[in-house]
């Protein structure tokens, strides 16, 4: 960790639940992603002479003592939390622990959840001093450096006035040029890269890592929270991207990258230029990415394959055309099928991303979706339990529908896409749970699917080692379908 400096901030990425439950958390067994947003902000602040350290409780669950020891030893002026909806209350718990340890420390919250609820966070939780709405680099720099005459001048900030009223200063008008940012401060993540893992069977080689090369998404599907980047879409240039991967390869030995962008291929020319750079200056690395089917074509896929693309994830969401049309822009399942066939023809693996339990879902729509998904030549899929997050259009629709769309148990700690908290009007919770289990069970019974996973023994040997190592936990999850 860095040495004490006059201006210093400790970043904390909360676990979201009791550390005792971490060993049985199926999501941690399958995937531990580094807090790239915090690492990016830390690198930016260090560039402006603000000392930073990061404690990632998700990767290292038993971190309470580490946090309190850090506060006593380094005396940071601020402690800043990046929270999802499910980890927000754990962040509040740690904030209270921090205040008991050092009453003078300033408590700052950022991330997707507080970007959605904004003023509500300060009104309901006195422990929080400030909320950063949206991306945090420049707002946090300005706040920590005292680069203002009054808080009202700091854009994207939620603060309390002297009379106790809560004010949001409005969204930042000028956003940072992503190519001017330093690479994230990966070295501040304890145990990086070995402490972090991509989803099992989703990579060919280790060590591997995640990377973000763009921010935002130009689409406005009902289920997506747009609170952080809203409708903006910015991206790193092909040259910056190639240099970023070179850095990860040479500095940390990374051999495979998962681009965690919402829309990696939205700017076709950028991807083509990146592929050309990878062909001209090979890095001996492979990569995954996520894309929308509309932004893929046979020529681009061949270029991506040549550049090392190993797998593409596509948001299918549901295979029922009527339900899809209610929630997604440009719904076209036949076009989706065609693009998946093009990806497979290019020699790239395909992963489908789906959700169950959207408003309007019925048993018929689930069976229709199941039939459609099984007919596709995909290699893997992830079926999430639909959760209406604050900031998404469908969250507002559900909250204002007076139960017409279904029942919603808005328990923030459980909003992790692994539990059915929203139950569509036409279904019961037990019925949904059984349909969810059946969707996966029937998938794994298919010979082609079983052979695909067996082939991972030589395609992704590290995945099989992790699978065998965590087999008791996976079996327990399949029995209970919940955290232990």
Q: Of the given ranges (131-145, 196-210, 222-236, 437-451), which has the lowest mean pLDDT?
A: 222-236
Q: What is the pLDDT of residues 115-138, one digit of tens each?
A: 999 999 999 999 999 999 999 999
Q: Over 50: is that where the pLDDT of 1 sits?
A: no
Q: Over 80: is that where the pLDDT of 480 sits?
A: no
Q: Over 50: is that where the pLDDT of 16 sits?
A: yes
pLDDT of residue 20: 82
Three-state DSSP class for 289? strand
Q: Over 80: is that where the pLDDT of 474 sits?
A: no
The strand pairing partners of 235, in sequence order, are 214
Query: Which pair of tokens denotes residue 189?
Result: 């993540």
How many percent of the chain have pLDDT more than 70?
Answer: 95
Q: What is the pLDDT of residues 274-300, one digit of tens each?
A: 999 999 999 999 999 999 999 999 999
In the 8-state DSSP scheme, what is residue 184?
P
Calpha distance 63→71 (Å, rounded): 12
Query: Which pair of tokens denotes residue 269?
Result: 């020319």
Calpha distance 248→251 (Å, rounded): 5
Confirm if 390 and 85 have CB atoms less than 8 A apart: yes
pLDDT of residue 329: 79
- The CATH number fitting domain 8-168, selected from 3.40.710.10, 3.40.50.280, 3.40.50.150, 3.40.50.300: 3.40.50.280
Calpha distance 73→2 (Å, rounded): 12
pLDDT class for 5, splitting at 50, 70, 90?
A: very low
Q: Return the ∠ at Cα 222 (arms to 216 and 223), rounded to 5°.
A: 75
The residue with greater pLDDT, 452 or 422, is 422
pLDDT of residue 318: 96
Dihedral angle sign, alpha carbons of residues 474, 224, 218, 375: positive
Dihedral angle sign, alpha carbons of residues 312, 182, 266, 322: positive
Q: What is the pLDDT of residues 323-378, one digit of tens each?
A: 999 998 778 999 999 999 999 999 999 999 999 999 999 999 999 999 999 999 99
Q: What is the pLDDT of residues 46-79, one digit of tens each?
A: 999 999 999 999 999 999 999 999 999 999 999 9
Rounded to the nearest integer, the mean pLDDT of the chain is 92
Domain positions in the chain are 8-168, 198-480
> How many Cβ atoms sit within 10 Å of the Cβ of residue 100?
10
pLDDT class for 475, splitting at 50, 70, 90?
A: low
Fold exhibited by the domain 198-480: pyruvate-formate lyase- activating enzyme (3.80.30)
The stretch 399-419 carries a mean pLDDT of 93
């Amino acid at each position: 960790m860095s040495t004490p400096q006059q201006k210093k901030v400790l970043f904390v990425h909360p676990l979201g639940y009791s550390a005792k439950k971490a060993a049985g958390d199926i999501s941690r067994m399958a995937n531990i992603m580094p807090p790239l947003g915090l690492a990016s902000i830390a690198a930016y602040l260090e560039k402006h002479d603000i000392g930073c350290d990061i404690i990632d409780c998700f990767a290292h669950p038993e971190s309470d003592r580490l946090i309190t020891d850090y506060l006593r030893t380094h005396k940071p002026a601020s402690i800043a939390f990046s929270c999802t909806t499910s980890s927000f209350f754990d962040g509040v718990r740690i904030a209270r622990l921090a205040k008991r340890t050092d009453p003078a420390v300033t408590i700052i919250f950022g991330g997707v959840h507080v970007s959605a609820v904004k003023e509500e966070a300060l009104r309901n939780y006195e422990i929080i001093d400030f909320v950063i709405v949206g991306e945090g680099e420049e707002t946090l720099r300005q706040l920590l450096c005292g680069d203002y005459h009054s808080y009202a001048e700091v854009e994207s900030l939620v603060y309390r006035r002297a009379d106790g009223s809560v004010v949001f200063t409005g969204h930042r008008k000028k956003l940072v040029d992503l190519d001017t940012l330093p690479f994230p401060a990966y070295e501040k993540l304890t145990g990086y890269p070995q402490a972090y893992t991509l989803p099992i069977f989703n990579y060919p080689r280790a060590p591997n890592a995640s990377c973000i090369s763009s921010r935002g998404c130009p689409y406005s599907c009902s289920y997506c929270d747009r609170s952080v980047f809203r409708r903006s879409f910015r991206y790193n240039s092909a040259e910056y991207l190639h240099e970023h991967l070179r850095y990860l390869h040479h500095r940390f030995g990374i051999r495979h990258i998962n681009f965690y962008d919402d829309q990696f291929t939205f700017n076709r020319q950028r991807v083509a230029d990146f592929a050309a750079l990878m062909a001209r200056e090979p890095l001996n690395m492979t990569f995954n990415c996520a894309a929308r089917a509309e932004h893929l074509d046979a020529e681009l896929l061949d270029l991506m394959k040549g550049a090392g693309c190993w797998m593409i994830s596509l948001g299918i969401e549901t295979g029922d055309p009527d339900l899809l049309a209610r929630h997604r822009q440009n719904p076209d399942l036949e076009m989706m099928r065609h693009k998946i066939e093009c990806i497979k023809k290019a020699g790239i693996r395909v992963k489908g991303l789906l959700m169950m339990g959207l408003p309007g879902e019925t048993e018929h729509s689930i069976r229709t979706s199941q039939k459609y998904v099984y007919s596709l030549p995909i290699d893997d899929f992830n079926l999430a339990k639909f959760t209406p997050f604050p900031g998404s259009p469908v969250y507002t629709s559900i909250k204002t529908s007076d139960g017409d769309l279904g029942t919603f148990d808005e328990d923030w700690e459980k909003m992790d896409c692994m539990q059915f908290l929203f139950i569509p009007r036409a279904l019961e919770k037990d019925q949904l749970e059984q349909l969810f289990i059946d969707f996966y069970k029937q998938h794994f019974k298919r010979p082609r699917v079983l052979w695909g996973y067996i082939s991972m023994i030589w395609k992704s040997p590290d995945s099989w080692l992790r699978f065998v190592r965590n087999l008791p936990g996976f079996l327990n999850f399949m029995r209970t379908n919940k955290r232990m």
